[in-house]
Chains A and B, each alone.
Chain A
Amino acid sequence: MNIYLQLTELFNKEKLRAIICSRQAVVLHRLAIMSKDGDWILREEEEALNHILKILAAHGAHYRFGAPLDLRWLKGGWSSHLEFQYGNLRVRTDFFTRPPRIAPNVLQNLWKSQEGKHPAFVGVSELAELKKTNREKDYVILGELARKITDIDGQIFYSRSARDLMELKTSHPDAWQEGLKKREILQSATLGLESLEAALDREKRLLIRENEVRLDRYEKASTAWSVCWQKLSKQNNKHNLMDTHANLIAHAEGVLPYEP
Chain B
Amino acid sequence: MNPDPTTHNTLRRDEFLSEEDLDLKNLTHDELIAWWNEWLLMAQATNDQDQHTYSHGVFRHEPKV
Binding site for B on A (CB under 8 A): 1-3, 5, 22-23, 27, 30-33, 35-37, 39, 64-66, 77-81, 88-90, 92, 94-96, 140-141, 143-144, 160-164, 214-215, 218-219, 222, 226-227, 229-230, 233-234, 260
The 4 closest A-B pairs by CB, nearest first: A79-B57, A143-B16, A161-B14, A218-B58
Known: A2-B33, A32-B17, A65-B59. A230 touches B64 (CB 8 A): yes
In whole angstroms, how far apart are the Cα atoms of A31 and B18 in the complex?
A: 10
- Taking a contact as CB atoms under 8 Å apart, the answer to whether B40 and A30 are in contact is no
CA distance A162 to B13 in the complex (A): 10
Instruction: Return A196 CB to nearest CB of chain B, in Å.
Output: 11
B65–chain A nearest beta-carbon distance, Å? 5
The answer to whether A2 and B37 have CB atoms under 8 Å apart is yes
Given contacts A39-B57, A90-B44, A94-B56, contact A141 B63 (CB under 8 A): no
Main secondary structure of the interface of B (DSSP, over half): loop
Q: What are 14 A-B residue pairs whose CB atoms fall within 8 Å in the complex?
A: A33-B24, A36-B50, A36-B55, A66-B57, A66-B59, A81-B59, A89-B40, A94-B57, A141-B16, A144-B16, A144-B22, A218-B59, A222-B59, A226-B63
Extra 17 A-B pairs, beta carbons < 8 Å, given A39-B57, A230-B63:
A3-B40, A22-B55, A27-B24, A27-B32, A32-B17, A36-B44, A37-B55, A39-B55, A64-B54, A77-B58, A79-B57, A79-B58, A81-B59, A94-B55, A144-B16, A218-B58, A230-B65
B39 contacts across to A, CB distance below 8 A: 33
* Cα distance, A44 to B30, chains bound together (Å): 33
The answer to whether B56 touches A30 (Cβ under 8 A) is no
Total contacts A-B at CB 8 Å: 116
Task: Tell me which residues across on chain A come within 8 A of B47, comparing CB atoms.
Answer: 36, 90
- Is B27 among interface residues, defined by CB-CB distance under 8 A? yes
Considering residues A3, A27, A234, which has the most beta carbons from chain B within 10 angstroms of its beta carbon? A27
Interface on chain A toward B: helix, strand, loop, or mixed SS? mixed
Chain B residues with Cβ under 8 A from A89's Cβ? 40-41, 44
Residues B13-63 near A (CB distance < 8 A) = 13-14, 16-17, 21-22, 24-25, 27, 32-33, 35-37, 39-41, 43-44, 46-47, 50, 54-60, 62-63
- Chain B residue, CB-CB nearest to A96: B57
A163 surroundings in chain B (CB, below 8 A): 12-14
Q: Which residue of B lies closest to A79 (CB)?
A: B57
Q: Point out the residues of chain B lying under 8 angstroms from A222, CB to CB.
A: 59
A168 smallest CB distance to B (angstroms):
13
Q: Name the contact of A88 in the complex, choosing from B21, B44, B64 (C-beta under 8 A).
A: B44
Least Cβ–Cβ distance between A18 and chain B, in angstroms:
14
A219 to B61, CA, bound (A): 9
Name the A residues within 8 Å of B56 (CB-CB): 22-23, 37, 39, 79, 94
Shortest CB distance B54–A (Å): 7
Q: Which residues of B contact A215 (CB under 8 A)?
A: 58, 60
